[in-house]
Amino acid sequence: MGLRMASVLSNISNIIIPVILFYIVAYGISNRCNVYEDFIRGAKDGFHTVIQIMPTLIGLMVAVGVLRASGFLEFVGGLFVGVADRLGFSSELVPLMLVKMFSSSAATGLVLDIFKNHGPDSLIGLTTSIMMSCTETIFYTMSVYFLAAKVTKTRHTLKGALLATLAGIAASIVLAGRMFA
């Protein structure tokens, strides 16, 4: 019974996006919209948005690359060894926490290093996997979306995002500890 349900869910997940796309096109046609021209206009707007945010993206990627190549992230991780040990996670996760706030792809590189050194099934590997899923690229997301939407006053966005990231980190430590035990 469980295998059959998994098969049904797999089939549903395979057809859901084509169904949604078909629905959007059918809805546009039924409302007498020129769906193709609207699509082209939206693609042009998207292209202009990419050009506007490109300098920010390049700056973030270069900054993370420099910090990682210089050894600064490992230095910062070393500063938090005592605190990290008392909180129940490895100091090797500190650079990952910092980098993930700026770049998910750079964080993935650190994840692969952790997996290579400790294995994905170790406590640190499990914590790393959960942490990557429970946290967000705060500064990347804020810079890209606020720049694209021309938002200049972010109010409490950064505080809320940092609090959510802290909650995600705590959740990853607790969940990995329970799963590993």
Q: Is residue 136 part of a domain?
A: yes
| End-to-end Cα, the chain, rounded Å | 30
Domain count, the chain: 1
Inter-residue contact 100 to 107 (CB < 8 Å):
yes
Q: Is residue 7 part of a domain?
A: no
Q: Is residue 79 part of a domain?
A: yes
The Cα-based distances of 41 to 34, 49, 145 in angstroms read: 11, 13, 20
Show the domain range for 127: 51-180
What is the Rg, in whole angstroms, of the alpha carbon atoms belonging to the chain?
21
Q: Is residue 6 part of a domain?
A: no
pLDDT computed for residue 23 by the predictor: 94
Q: Is residue 121 part of a domain?
A: yes
Q: Is residue 109 part of a domain?
A: yes
Instruction: Report how far residue 34's alpha carbon sits from residue 51's, in angstroms, rounded to the nearest whole number.
Output: 26
Tens place of pLDDT for every residue, the chain, 181 residues?
Answer: 556 776 777 788 789 989 999 999 999 999 999 999 999 999 999 888 888 878 877 887 788 788 878 988 888 878 887 888 787 778 888 888 888 988 888 888 889 989 999 999 999 999 999 999 999 999 888 888 887 788 888 889 999 999 999 999 999 988 988 887 6
Q: Is residue 140 part of a domain?
A: yes
Please name the amino acid found at residue 22: F
- The residues near 16 (Cβ < 8 Å, ≥ 6 apart) are none
Q: Is residue 107 part of a domain?
A: yes
pLDDT computed for residue 160 by the predictor: 93
- H or E stretch at 35: helix 35-70
- The pTM for the full model equals 0.67
